[in-house]
Amino acid sequence: MADSLTLDEFLARVAAFSAEARPAIAAADSADALEGVRAKYLGRNHGWLKDLSAALGQLPKEARGAAGKAFNDARTDVEGALETRQASLAPSSAGVALADPTMPARHAWRGAVHPVSQVIDEVVAIFRELGFTVALGPEAESPWYNFGSLNFPADHPAMDLHDTLYISDDVVLRTHTSPVQVRTLQSYPPPIRVLIPGNVHRRDPFDPSHAPTFAQIEGLVVDEGISFADLKATLTHFANRFFGSTKTRFRPSYFPFTEPSAEMDVLCGVCKGSGCGVCKQSGWVEILGSGLVHPAVLESAGVDSERYSGWAFGMGPARTALARHGIPDIRLLYDSDVRFLDQFAR
């Protein structure tokens, strides 16, 4: 092309572009032929459109406004002609008769958030309102992070091969999300308020209430003056937000990494306390374990246990989904049966 170009010369090229492209589009008698026309006139790497775009840069600045409008109008016109011709070349289904026009349409799976993921998202949202942030950690851990740092005695049965999946002598698949508590305390000074969602792995049978790999959500609060009253108030608030106004109770329990420890129950949402198969006739459904962080856990992470205290909890969102929806078998959540999962689509 010449080193400079006048507006009239450019407009003549634009007119020639439209005059040549439209008949070529109309003459295309197949999808392949139409694609060849598109590449010739609208191709980004070569063709008329690329040449015209380059020519715009050779125009004087005062002429580029009018030239650009003419260029865009011509391109839009040719693109519209291409789309119209493409539609006319597409095979028509108007003349195809249905075998049975009275049959209902086939149901289409819409896609939805899995009920366990729904629980995780809701739990995270509720605790974010209370000032918690989300922390994550590796699923392959050292035995020290998974057990030793959390005050497990060296002969604790959870460390045996029949309970824990070992990748090697020095690497295990984490059995809970609690190692992230220690990693967080090592990385950030108190005060800390974190929520820790993630998958955990145990050598458990796959039965109506257990799965070898499942999601868990851990919570950790560490600050000066933290007490069991803080734990109870926060978790009761969470239960009322998540399940609606409900009754809760705390039962004494034992965990190596908390002292004192407690399990938290909510009133069964299916039978409202009268007893049913979901709550095993007790009227209550356990949703989490909790307790004040053991001083040994704080010390193993380098935190002064004389100055700081804290509380933690751990819950299984799959079992929480069971309690919320009255699902009798946890395996239904892992079978990927769209007929079952479609019930929870929203």
**Domain identity same for 72 and 122:** no
Asked whether residue 99 is domain-assigned, the answer is no
Helix (H, G, I), strand (E, B) or coil at 286: strand
Q: What is the pLDDT of residue 2?
A: 44
pTM: 0.64
Q: Render pLDDT for 250-300 as a digit per residue (tens, 0 to 9).
A: 999 999 999 999 999 988 877 777 777 667 788 888 889 999 999 999 999
Report angle CA 291, 294, 297 to the nearest 5 degrees: 125
Q: Give the CA distances from residue 96 to residues 30, 88, 89, 93, 214, in Å, rounded to whole numbers and listed in that order.
A: 21, 17, 17, 5, 49
The domain boundary residue, chosen from 89, 123, 138: 89
pLDDT at 309: 96
Supply the pLDDT for residue 205.
Answer: 78
For residue 323, the model assigns a pLDDT of: 72
Query: What pLDDT, on the 0 to 100 scale, is given for residue 16?
Result: 85
- Sequence-ordered alpha helix ranges (H) in 104-198: 115-129, 143-146, 179-187
Residue 105 covered by a domain: no
Q: Which residues pair with 215 in a beta bridge?
A: 199
pLDDT digits (tens, 9 = 90+) for 75-118: 888 888 888 888 887 764 444 555 667 777 776 666 778 888 88
Q: What is the pLDDT of residue 55?
A: 79
Domain-embedded: residue 94 = no
pLDDT at 1: 40
Does a structural domain hold residue 221?
yes
State whether 172 and 60 are in the same domain.
Answer: no
**How wide is the angle at C-alpha 140 spanned by C-alphas 329 and 197, nearest 5°?**
50
The answer to whether the CB of 57 falls within 8 A of the CB of 64 is: no
Kindly report, residue by residue over 303-324, the tens digit of the pLDDT: 999 999 999 999 988 878 877 7
Domain final residue, candidates 89, 106, 135: 89
At 3, the pLDDT band (50, 70, 90 cuts) reads low
What is the number of alpha carbons within 13 Å of residue 42 lying toward its C-beta? 21
Q: What is the pLDDT of residue 98?
A: 56
CA neighbor of 235 nearest in space, from 259, 266, 273, 214:
266
Q: What is the pLDDT of residue 95?
A: 47
Chain mean pLDDT for the chain = 85
List residues bridging with 221 in a β-sheet.
193, 311
24, 54, 89 — which closes off a domain?
89
Residue 108 lies in a domain: no
Nearest CA among 105, 106, 108, 115 for reference residue 340: 115
Segment 163-169 mean pLDDT: 88
**Tell me, what's the pLDDT at 94?**
46
Considering the domain architecture, whether residues 56 and 149 belong to the same structural domain is answered as no
Are 190 and 72 in the same domain?
no
pLDDT at 122: 93
Q: What is the pLDDT of residues 210-254, one digit of tens each?
A: 788 889 999 999 999 999 999 999 999 999 998 888 889 999 999
Tokens at residue 148, please? 């030793």
Residues 32 and 126 reside in one and the same domain: no
Which range has the top average pLDDT, 42-51, 75-84, 155-164? 75-84
Identity of residue 121:
D
**How many domains is the chain partitioned into structurally?**
2
- 170 and 40 assigned to the same domain: no
pLDDT digits (tens, 9 = 90+) for 176-204: 999 999 999 999 999 999 999 999 998 87
The residue segments making up the domain with residue 54 are 7-89
In a domain, 269, yes or no: yes
